[in-house]
Structure 1
Amino acid sequence: MRVVLVGGGVQPIPPTGYGGVERFLDDLRRALEADGVEVVVLNRVRHRRTRDEIPFALEVPRALRRERYDVVHAHTPVVANRLALGNIPFVYTSHSRHWYYRERLSHRWGYWLERRAVRRARVTVALTEPLARTMRGAVRAPSPLPIEVVPIGVDTEAFRPDWAARTGRRALGVGVVLPFKRWHLAAAALRGTGVTLRLAGPAPSAEYADRVRAAGEGVEILGEVDEASLRRLYAESDVL
């Protein structure tokens, strides 16, 4: 079997820093190859801007015509909708926050793209059962949606606890430090417990970073960290 994993054209695969979807794609590639599946990763990075997904998506059908494949697996809604427009069958895994967070017009546009991608996919992979229920309630379809729940796997060789380094007082959050991640709620929940919240990921908004620090006690915003540092943070943290 030959599978084409299609990225978003925004970050490299594997990512050099922040990039949860890209990290997921690289892990999936390695797992499939270990299982004997032939994998092609289709991704072209221009300037690492979110809007770069659009020109990348436009060129995906042409790139696929040069490939031999059995399955096309999309992971971003713009790419998925371009595949649907070209009548190219695809599997879709949704990683989007827009199922739950839609404060701006751009978020509502993303939500529309997500629902259309799920409706047009041959099969949709939901990473959690609650997300699958949300999809079924949000997407109108003439027949039951083909949604499969496949939780994100963990490489237990790479990510192992370091019991000697754990203190019982460290919490770790990994991801961009922006309001849709709700880090201020995590910080507030830990206030008064003696547990330190450390956040690893880019912090593009100084205003929101200050809000998170003010919500808790001893919050540490680490910024982007390399792979070795991230593994160490996971190993020595007590709450994720």
Structure 2
Amino acid sequence: MVSTSELFKINAKMDIKREGERVYFKTSIQEVTDEYIAIHVPSHQGREMSLEPGDYVNARVFMEDAQYVFNSTVLGRKKDRVLLYKLSIPSNIKRVQMRDYVRIKIQLPVKYKVLEEKGNNEESSDEKGDKFESAYTVDISGGGMQMVVSKPLEVKQRLYLKFKISDLKKRDIEIAAKARVVRREQIFGGKNKWSLGVAFEDISETQRDLIIAFVFRKLIEQRRLEVES
């Protein structure tokens, strides 16, 4: 199990949401003591999250091929050139491997673009623009995907992804989500081809549920074909 000193590092990115809410806000760790973790004011799409002492929050930190989730309580505020929130040190940290999500091998077209992180967790992204690169999936799960690209992206780079899956009525549904590259391997014998492992970060639970349902339907279809063949 990762230690708190490894997990909670200065400037490490963290996602946070209020207990019972679905949307995660982005923040970063600015100070760590024996009593608290100090973070920047969390933000999401230009909106800031206001927290009060006693608020109960859920948080997650991504590392390589796993995410670590925990609960914490807001202890108060601290002014250190900028406003910081103090969170209690979590007593129970759970490791969630990306492969804990059921995964299915499937090739789907994907459009992606690299996001640039600026300042206090703000990203410069023209999500509606046309500067997207083409890729395709090798597999997909509710936690992320393996995809093949023609450019060598860096591990930890943030991406904006768009792809389509079908729902129960076989209608196309577009999924738009932000993700982070957690693995990169050049494909042997493949000229200018790299395999990326990416973990979803900014994705609504509704969209994640749609992906999970899609994966299970495809698994059932595959198993039915195996039985019939």
- What TM-score do the two structures reach when normalised by structure 1? 0.25
Whichever structure has more strand as a proportion of its residues is: 2
**TM-score if structure 2 supplies the norm length?**
0.25
Decide which structure has greater helix share. 1
